[in-house]
Amino acid sequence: MNVGASSHRLTTRWGNPMNPRWPPICSSEESRGNICFRVLLFKCFALGVAGLLLAQKDNDTYSKQREEMVRTQISTLRWSGSQAVRDSRVLDSMSKTPRHRFVPAELVAYAYEDRPLPIGYGQTISQPYIVAKMTELLEPKGEHRVLEIGTGSGYQAAVLSPLVAQVYSIEIIEPLGTAARRRLETLGYKNIEVRVGDGYFGWPEKGPFDSIIVTAAANHIPPPLVEQLKPGGRMVIPVGNPFQTQVLMLVTKGSKGPHDLQVWNLMPVAFVPLVGEPKAK
């Protein structure tokens, strides 16, 4: 009888959804705490959803900007003397690589404009067209191992990443190299290795390379880089002095030894200087 009476009370007070006090709210310190916790949980959930929606909107905005960048700056002829980039794999990589993640926060709004941007320490991330053109000139293949001199922000290495097997990149300014390595890891690039050092001497332990890209202007073609290029390999390098017009050169290596080279002058460019190398004799 007692049991029946207490179970009846339970049903009418807490067990019955028709009861206006069901579920029990704020009847004690404990339940108030419970409610607060649930409200907090709901707020976190709502914030998370809002964050995801904003991120999605951001992604859509940036991917539209990238498509526009590829269409207007890269895949079409820009000025007489420049050539449009045609390699569809390169264009695809340019349209997927988030350049806005490689520039300083205050310059994100300019990330997809047709120009280089400062990245600190007096250095720059190159203009999108130049990145795409130099990448195309390397004729990247899925099995290639590529050496980059001048990691900078890591953007050029990121553009190369989906096109080749492995990218090795050397940066002489320690904070830039460390930041680029961290950025590339955060963004999930698995086949890029960044080292801090003087790229003039290449990375002999990892060579020989199918191609080498130098993203700072040297006053001559560094012999150690020629040595580390495979027969049949390609090197793209701006050559010239700072504050003068430099020339973007394509160097191809034949199979008859280190002097079996062909060099093409391709177009005028303006790069920051390759520093740290010995003076030309």
Structure tokens at 30: 């404990």
Q: Is 111 in the site for ligand SAM (CB under 6 A)?
A: no
From the CB of 82, what's the least distance to ligand SAM, in Å?
18
Q: Is 276 in the site for ligand SAM (CB under 6 A)?
A: yes
Q: Is 37 exposed, middle or buried (0-12, 13-18, 19+ CB in 10 A)?
A: exposed
Q: Is 176 in the site for ligand SAM (CB under 6 A)?
A: yes
**Which is closer to ligand SAM, CB of 199 or CB of 233?**
199
Encoded amino acid at 99, one letter = R
Segment lying near ligand SAM (by CB under 6 A), choices 6-14, 33-41, 82-90, 146-154: 146-154
Known catalytic residue at 126: yes
CB count within 10 Å of CB 79 equals 6
Segment lying near ligand SAM (by CB under 6 A), choices 65-73, 84-92, 164-172, 181-189: 164-172
**Which is closer to ligand SAM, CB of 42 or CB of 110?**
110
Give the pairing type, strands 123-125 and 117-120. antiparallel
**Which is closer to ligand SAM, CB of 75 or CB of 127?**
127
Segment lying near ligand SAM (by CB under 6 A), choices 23-31, 238-246, 253-261, 267-275: 267-275
The alpha carbon dihedral of 242, 235, 103, 64 has a sign of positive
Structure tokens at 124: 């720059």
Q: Are 157 and 147 in contact (CB under 8 A)?
A: no
Q: How many residues form the binding site for ligand SAM (CB under 6 A)?
A: 26
CA nearest 213: which of 144, 115, 122?
144
Rounded-to-integer distance, Cα 279 and Cα 281, Å = 6
Using CB under 6 A, pick the residue from 129, 189, 200, 203 that binds ligand SAM.
200
From the CB of 255, what's the least distance to ligand SAM, in Å?
28
Rounded-to-integer distance, Cα 198 and Cα 11, Å = 79
Using CB under 6 A, pick the residue from 147, 172, 237, 248 that binds ligand SAM.
172
Say whether the peptide bond before residue 208 is cis (omega within 30 degrees of 0): yes
Structure tokens at 83: 């050539």
CB count within 10 Å of CB 16 equals 12
Q: Draw the binding track, 58-77, toward ligand SAM (x: CB under 6 A; -: no contact).
A: --------------------
Which residues are at the interface with ligand SAM (CB under 6 A)? 123-126, 149-150, 152-153, 155-156, 170-173, 176, 198-200, 215-216, 271-272, 274-277
